[in-house]
Amino acid sequence: MAVDDREPHQERPDELPRRVPGVNGRTPGQIRRGYLPIPGTPSPAAIQSPPETAQRPRLPEPLSAESMATARPSPTALASSAAKLLSGTAAAAAPPVPAARPTSPPGRVPPQLATLPGIVPPATVSPSGTPPPPVVAQPADTSAAQPAQPGTKQRTTPKARPARRWRLAGFLIVVAVVTVVVVITLGIRHSPAVTAGPGKPGAAQGTTPGGQQISAEAAVRARAVTWVAGQVGRDIIIACDSVICSDLAQHGFPAGNLNVLQPTAPDPYGSELVIATADVRSQFGSKLAAVYAPEVIASFGTGAGKIEVRVIAPRGPAAFQSALRADLLNRKSSGAQLLRNRRIQAPAAARAQLAAGRVDERLLTIIAFMAAGQPLDIVDFGGIAPGASPSVPLRFADLAVANPAAQLARPAYQRALIALAHSEVPPYVPLSVGTVRLADGRTVLRIEFAAPSPAGLPS
């Protein structure tokens, strides 16, 4: 233990009171632990050095017990330590900055610096008397404690900005992807056609030769089915392929009168009409027109996709042609009788058709019957389907809905004609009776019979 050999009353100017080792019953090896060194506090060696050497940076050296006992901080060091401490206190009020963790046990604050908050001793001594290596503390960040200069912007570094930027970038990427998908979907949906080769997936029908052919065949088949369903009598048995028969059944034609032709069928006999599609013509060959069904009553389309509605000759083509010639003679005779009837009026075109035997025998019969009850004014005859043979008779007649010779008002006269038309018995029952408007604007009463026109009826 060092002995103070100075004079009792001798005082040194400009020095702080010196702590004598061993005061309060403690030796240098018994210094209390529990404090950390203050950042920026000079080491004892720097305190004992002259002012000119204290200004040069030196590496910290291990402290002994005697140097700790004799070390005294200078007034300049104390003032510097207090300024740094105040700066650190002001920095603590700013946003927290991660500080270095202590690597040594804390020490005890000297009584001289107890009034300054946060001051810790420069070093500590272990209980065994061996001082540990000094701890070099990181200097405190005093940038937050510097006052902002007038006219300058205080620069801050937000911590959450990178994360926010990443979240914002991800959100924008998702929005862009969704927008692109929607635009592509709408473009594909509203695009006129997909440019793909024939037979390739994605090629729209109607944009390639194959697609155009399929669309044309479907259109022809629809026209043929519509005509048959609306013009052919429901008591007629029709032979057809599976596609046409299915379409006819969907249009309301009785399924019991549809004869589906099997690929092994030798002929279409047993039916009254045959719908000759490309498959049916291929199945029966040239015999279809020459032997089985020589007369065409309607035809739709052209080329390989053409569909014909043919009348079957049950007793062969020769007997069929003989029956047609006999029926033509009967129609001419009946037409001549109507031309001599004074209760029937007709224009020149209609009179020529009557004389030529072009009118269906059923229609001639019902006109003669109705003329016995009311005077008639024939406007025209019609009913030939496109592509029909010249021998096919006309199946409907248009009658005027007003006739001065009837001495009836128009509504009463029209009701009288309709009642007479519906009073007939088969095979003279019309397919339909009703008013229609012609192209010239006139309203007429149309009486129409179903196809095909039967041959051999009594005149």
Domain C-terminal end among 273, 292, 314: 314
The C-alpha angle with vertex 380 and arms to 378 and 385, in degrees rounded to 5, equals 140
Confidence at residue 277, expressed as pLDDT on a 0 to 100 scale: 96
- Tens of pLDDT, residue by residue over 188-228, are 544 444 334 444 444 444 456 667 778 888 999 999 999 99
The DSSP symbol for 45 reads H
Q: Specify whether 307 is located in the same domain as 334.
A: no
Q: Is the pLDDT of residue 451 over 60?
A: yes
Are 306 and 368 found together in one domain? Answer: no
Report whether pLDDT(32) > 50. no
DSSP notation for 208-267: SHHHHHHHHHHHHHHHHHHHHHHHB-TT--EEE-HHHHHHHHHTT--GGGEEEPPTT-S-
Core vs surface per residue 416-452: b (16+ CB within 10 A) or e: ebbebbeeeeeebbbbebeeeeeeeeeebbbbbbbbb
* C-beta of residue 140 within 8 angstroms of C-beta of residue 84: yes
Give yes or no: residues 225 and 345 share one domain. no
Domain of residue 255, residue span: 209-314
Let me know whether 345 and 243 are in one domain.
Answer: no
Altogether, the residues listed in the chain come to a count of: 459
455 within domain boundaries: no
Residue 145, in any domain of the structure: no
Is there a single domain that holds both residue 327 and residue 357? yes
Q: State whether 426 and 326 are in the same domain.
A: yes
**Is 153 a member of any domain?**
no
Residues 444 and 322 in one domain: yes
Q: Note whether 326 and 293 are same-domain residues.
A: no
Structural contact between residues 298 and 385, judged by C-beta atoms closer than 8 angstroms: yes
Same-domain pairing of 258 and 365: no
Task: Express each pLDDT in 376-393 by its tens digit.
Answer: 999 999 998 999 999 999
Last residue of a domain, one of 280, 314, 348: 314
Please check whether residues 241 and 329 belong to one and the same domain. Answer: no
DSSP for residue 394: B
Q: Is residue 126 part of a domain?
A: no
Q: Is residue 414 part of a domain?
A: yes
Q: Is the pLDDT of residue 16 over 80?
A: no
Host H or E run for residue 143: none
Indicate the number of domains in the chain: 3
Same structural domain for residues 336 and 428?
Answer: yes
Specify whether 275 is located in the same domain as 386: no
The alpha-carbon radius of gyration of the chain (Å, integer) is 60
- CA dihedral angle for residue 38, residue 40, residue 44, residue 47, rounded to 10 degrees: -130
Looking at 263, 286, 314, the residue that finishes a domain is 314
Answer yes or no: is pLDDT of 261 > 80.
Answer: yes
Q: How confident is the model over 419-432, as a mean pLDDT?
A: 94
